[in-house]
Structure 1
Amino acid sequence: MTEAADGSGVLFAEPGARWRSVSYGPGLCSIILFIELVTASRVHWFALIFCAALIAVFVVLQVIAGQRHVSVELTENALREGTETLPLTTIDAVLPERDEDSWDDEDWESARALGELSGVPRRRSGIGLRLADGSLVQAWAKDHRGLRAALTETLDRQRGTGSIDTVEGSEGIDDRHSENGADR
């Protein structure tokens, strides 16, 4: 396991962006250069080098932004979503996944997303959390089920319980009705 800044092990991590993506633009320019050399056509040295460097610089900026604003890290003590760090002691419950068959949105789906972004980032899914003060927030990750499992396990271990409080709404799981009303 790797060590986090506070000395506790990282239980779940998503980098947000990977440095290997910086090589894609220059790699493509290298392929074009190779094709121009092999076919004995005019070689556009300056244009290919300029484009490779320009693409690489822009992608470096995107990788830095992605790692800063869209990375996720769960340790024994905190959940970091982008630039916001939430101590695990402030999390009261991990809310259940959205019911795909339901037409109604869950309350946590309209809650504030963690991090300084205006919402859940693209290609990531939200996880509802109820905080100790009663407010709702959304954690998010590409592997939202992996984060949910790691977060639930960590909170269970810290509280010494068999399972963390999972909330099924005000009705409870047994009182939920199907959409067509057949069970009413």
Structure 2
Amino acid sequence: MSVPDDDQPTLYAEPGSSWWPVLWGPAFAAACVLFEVAFGGPVHWYLWALLAVGLGGLTAIWVNARRQICSVLLTSTELRQGRETLAVQRIAGVDEVGVSIGAPVLGGGWAVPKRFTGMTLRLDDGSTVIAWARDADALRSALRALVEERVEEEHGERERGERST
């Protein structure tokens, strides 16, 4: 997972996928080699090596794509979901409104990715978007804390401004 440019502390992160599935192809090829050795037949070393490299390479491409498309990163200034970034200051509320039909899903997809849970975000312009995470409760609580902190800061600034006039 990449580090945000402004080096803000990470409040919530999901990588999208781990790298262990890359081992599936080589593990399958190794099991097949052991099977051939155990039963005394000819061992097709080159075939199994080619299969291990091929399946491992294809799986690495798949894992890399999942890590780009399904990653979630929340800092104090931005929420990044997949390839889309949303400034936290634009978020006015978390799960306070129902989802409007046709509300866009953050990350650029048509729907919330499989095995992820969606949540509604109300933006400062009144529109709604759908954010998502595997651990939606953790992301929801982190977002709520940021929104409440910002609202308290704005409220405090208004009070200080009213006192000075």
If the TM-score is normalised by the length of the shorter chain, which range does it land in?
Answer: 0.7 to 0.9
Cα distance in structure 2, aligned partners of 1:76 and 1:108 = 27
Q: Which amino acid aligns with 1:116?
A: G
| Among 109, 112, 119, the residue aligned to 1:117 | 109
1:179 alignment partner in structure 2: none
Moved more, 35-44 or 14-23: 35-44
Whether the 8 Å contact between 1:109 and 1:128 is mirrored in structure 2 is no
Whether the 8 Å contact between 2:96 and 2:122 is mirrored in structure 1 is no
The TM-score with structure 1 as length reference comes to: 0.75
Whether the 8 Å contact between 2:94 and 2:119 is mirrored in structure 1 is yes
1:45 alignment partner in structure 2: 45
**Deviation at residue 108 of structure 1 after TM alignment:** 4.3
1:67 alignment partner in structure 2: 67
- Measured against aligned partners, the alpha-carbon deviations of 1:44-96 in whole angstroms (never above 9, x if no partner) come to 21221111111111111111111111100001111000010000000010015
The equivalences for 1:138-157 within 5 A come to: 138-157=130-149
Cα distance in structure 2, aligned partners of 1:50 and 1:26 = 10
Which ranges in structure 2 are unaligned for 5 or more consecutive residues?
Answer: 154-165
- Measured against aligned partners, the alpha-carbon deviations of 1:82-120 in whole angstroms (never above 9, x if no partner) come to 0100000000100159xxxxxxxx424741100111221
Q: CA RMSD in A?
A: 2.0
**Deviation at residue 26 of structure 1 after TM alignment:** 0.7
Give percent identity, aligned residues only: 34
Cα distance in structure 1, aligned partners of 2:100 and 2:139 = 17
Helix, strand or coil: the match of 2:137? helix
2:128 alignment partner in structure 1: 136
| Alignment length (residue pairs) | 152
Helix, strand or coil: the match of 2:86? strand
**Deviation at residue 159 of structure 1 after TM alignment:** 2.9
The equivalences for 1:155-170 within 5 A come to: 155-160=147-152
Whether the 8 Å contact between 2:93 and 2:121 is mirrored in structure 1 is yes
Residue 14 in structure 1 maps to residue 14 in structure 2:
yes
Which ranges in structure 1 are unaligned for 5 or more consecutive residues?
Answer: 98-105, 162-184
The TM-score with structure 2 as length reference comes to: 0.84
Q: Which amino acid aligns with 2:79?
A: L
